[in-house]
Amino acid sequence: MICFLRAKRMVHDIVCDVRVLHGFMIVFTLSYFCGCQQSVSDGKEGMPEWALGQLPTIRMEIGGVAVEIEVAIFPREQQQGLMYRESMPENHGMLFVYDEPRYLSFWMKNTKIPLSIAFIRQDGVISNIEKMKPHTGPMNPTESYVSKYECVYALEMNEGWFERHGIKAGDVIHFPKEEIERIRNR
């Protein structure tokens, strides 16, 4: 009988040890996977830690509407653009500035918000405006949005913004070039 009680006690101890080990494994596994997720830093909600966040801005008027525009001049800024953003205020946008006129082509990789893009020539004339669909899938997007003429600017706003404000191809946008140069030289 004593052997039986000892064996029963040993089995009980082993079961308790296994439960403790199992609990430890669950806690370890959860903490490991939670720790491996991309962290989010202040002002960049929903963005990977390495993402740039908001870029320097200019304030101006387009079609009589006051807007705040982030300026993407350098390759890393242009490559990221509005990727990872969850939303964008109504009269806010992003201006891509290029040194030389060229045919511009954009895609929506890792971009969660629907946008409209105005391709703008060196003289400020809007070449064309395109609506761009969000793309957050695992593959690269197949759709690209291209300027009809060589341009030096591309301005992204929330989808339909240009249309809602009566702005169309052929209209002229005057950018504060001195402010853009100040941002370039930062």
pLDDT by residue (tens digit) across 46-62? 666 766 788 999 999 99
42 part of a folded domain: no
Q: Which domain holds residue 24?
A: 1-37
**The total number of structural domains that make up the chain:** 2
Q: In angstroms, how far is the first alpha carbon of the chain from the final one?
A: 85
Tally Cβ neighbours within 10 Å of residue 36: 8
Same domain, 87 and 25: no
Same structural domain for residues 33 and 81?
A: no
The per-residue pLDDT for 142 is: 83
pTM over 0.85: no
Q: Can you tell me which residue has the tokens 């890393």?
A: 76
pLDDT band at 1 (very low <50, low <70, confident <90, very high): low
Evaluate whether residue 126 is within a structural domain: yes
The CATH number linked to 147 is: 2.60.120.1140
Q: What are the backbone dihedrals phi and psi of residue 79, each rounded to the nearest 5 degrees, phi first?
A: -65, -40
